[in-house]
Amino acid sequence: MLKLLLATIWAERQDWFWGTNMGVYFDPDDEPIVPDGFLVLGVPRIQDENLRRSYVLWQEKVVPVLTLEVVSRKRRNEYRQKKLDYAALGVRYYVIYNALPQVKDSLEVYRLKQGEYILLSGNPVWLAEIGLAIGCGRGVYQGIEREWLYWYDQAGERYPTPEERAAEAERRAAEAQQQVLQEAAARRQAEAQLQLLRQRLREQGIEPDA
């Protein structure tokens, strides 16, 4: 969903890339890191017609500004090795979305400071270098109501999903159509009243057009 929302929010921009479950290669002799999601700024959104199958740091030369890990069943080194790996790469923001039912705070956003990640407070959390805030809240996406991750503006207002945008556009179109019908009905009523007045004037021997 975050990628889909970015495509709407940054529809006019081509200088960003969001990868999902894609290998980030940082060393030719080492295995890649595979975040659940990551955001890079300052690279072409579409590299070529074949798109990206992986993200190779020594070719792209730009480190992701944000990585996302989703904990859905059990922890998989999100709080240990991956945290160290992302810090070593210089990833500015590390986001953990923890969907385990026993976890109270499902969203954790860390910012890299002097080589270590510092937990930021709030929901949503403003990400200055990105110009967006990230947060979670209940909503409906593809007909499913649950808690989702969303992007927010600096004032904390959530950006609507494409479904919500379409529904809002449909609502406005319906309101506009209703307004047109009401105005047409008002014109017909006014015309009928005018014709009635003209008829009464003629019955009194007064020519209304004189």
Could you report the per-residue pLDDT of 60-109, keeping only the tens digit for each? 999 999 999 998 766 667 788 899 999 999 999 999 998 765 556 789 99
Q: Which of 23-32, 101-110, 150-159 has the lowest average pLDDT?
A: 101-110
Q: Which of 40-49, 53-62, 165-174 has the lowest average pLDDT?
A: 165-174
What is the number of alpha carbons within 13 Å of residue 188 lying toward its C-beta? 6
The pLDDT value given to residue 106: 86
Confidence of residue 113 (pLDDT cuts 50, 70, 90): very high
Q: Do the beta carbons of residue 15 and residue 165 sit within 8 Å? A: no
- Give the residue extent of every domain in the chain: 2-159, 160-210
| pLDDT of 129 higher than 90 | yes
Percentage of residues in the chain having pLDDT higher than 70: 90
**What is the average per-residue pLDDT within 22-43?**
94
Answer CATH for 2-159 from 3.90.1570, 3.40.30, 1.20.1060, 3.20.20: 3.90.1570
Name residue 194's amino acid. L
Is the model more confident about 28 or about 99? 28
Confidence of residue 161 (pLDDT cuts 50, 70, 90): confident
**What is the average per-residue pLDDT within 47-59?**
87
Q: How many whole angstroms separate alpha carbon 205 and alpha carbon 210?
A: 11
Quickly list DSSP for 99-160: --TT-S--EEEEEEETTEEEEEPSSSEEETTTTEEEEEEEEEETTEEEEEEEEE-TTSPBPP
Contacts of 204 (CB under 8 A, 6+ apart): none
Tokens of 37: 């999601």
Confidence of residue 21 (pLDDT cuts 50, 70, 90): very high
